[in-house]
Amino acid sequence: MSRFPETRLRRLRQSAPVRSLVRETSLEARQLVLPMFVREDISEPVAIGSMPGVVQHSLDSLRRAAADAAETGIGGVMLFGIPEVRDADGTGADDPHGILNLATEAVAAEVGDALVVQTDLCLDEFTDHGHCGVLDASGAVDNDATLDRYRSMALAQAGAGSQLLGLSGMMDGQVAAIREALDTEGFHDTLLLAYSAKYASAFYGPFREAVDSQLTGDRRTYQMDPGNRREGLREALFDVDEGADIVMVKPAMAFLDVLRKVRDAVDVPVWAYQVSGEYAMIEAAAANGWITREPAILESLLSIRRAGADVVLTYWATEVAGMLR
């Protein structure tokens, strides 16, 4: 085995050009997706207090922001809708005139040829109880009844022009149910992104402000226990078997080990979501002068890519695209 001084590992770090030449993991704008929020009852963007720099958009500001995002060269946008009125079944979710479907039509018309227009397929933003599915008489989430609602949502979103549906509800059988519904109605090319390993995480807090969540209690009966890694892999394998085109690990930062295991086990693209709490922590630390903001952002994203993510959903997508130019 070679020893110092014959072997000098620092040779590969001696200058910026050398470091760039031998870097193992890259970060490119096309590997980033921007989550965006659109709210029904506003005419101007509304700032989200716990997510500095992120807003709830009006339809008009969403269209403009999507066009700006397309100019940066990012890979796509993921749309979340915030309705004015909610009910127990989340009927606004599959209403063709509901906020998310109207926003999807607008963004698809504006930038559908430039990036991948994606939609969140989940009921939590649309229900008056804040859960990701409909409830049974006991107040528990009814998995199979929820699948019927997801089928209807999928058809509405695909009909509105969504190119990729983000299945984030964590219901058993959701991928197979939605794929069958789409194929039956001729939407063979609509992509399915399964949020396969989605954990019941403390890092979702700012997102709940962003979507004005009505949730009381928690989602631990359907989102995953943070202590389980093997189960995350099992979920991903089930979703691939059911027809998922892409699988997701969420959150990213606290579950990089799960991300690596999933990447090694499946042969479809693997994505990760850098969630609102991850964003908020870095922004807060930088605002207090405790860390240097831009290097911390880039390092956090590079770590997610290094762990195996082909694409990262991040609220910094367009800003980072500018940094990378």
Active site residue 250: yes
Task: Give the closest residue to 48 by CA, choosing from 31, 60, 35.
Answer: 35
Q: Among the options 39, 57, 198, 305, which is catalytic?
A: 198
Report the distance separating Cα 11 and Cα 250, nearest Å. 37
- Do residues 282 and 300 lie in contact, with contact meaning Cβ atoms separated by under 8 Å? yes
Burial environment of residue 43 by CB neighbours within 10 A (0 to 12, 13 to 18, 19 or more)? exposed
Helices (H), 245-292: 256-265, 276-287
CA distance 320 to 72: 9
Q: What dihedral angle (degrees, nearest 10) is formed by the CA atoms of 197, 155, 64, 166?
A: 0
Q: What's the first-to-final CA gap in the chain, in angstroms?
A: 41
**Catalytic: which of 250, 261, 263, 305?**
250
Q: How many helices (H) and strands (E) does the chain have?
A: 11, 10
Catalytic residue check, 261: no
285, two tokens: 């630390």
C-alpha 308/C-alpha 96 separation (Å) is 37
Write the burial class of residue 189 (CB in 10 Å: 0-12 exposed, 13-18 middle, 19+ buried).
exposed
The SS3 call for residue 215 is: coil
DSSP for residue 253: G
Residues involved in catalysis? 198, 250
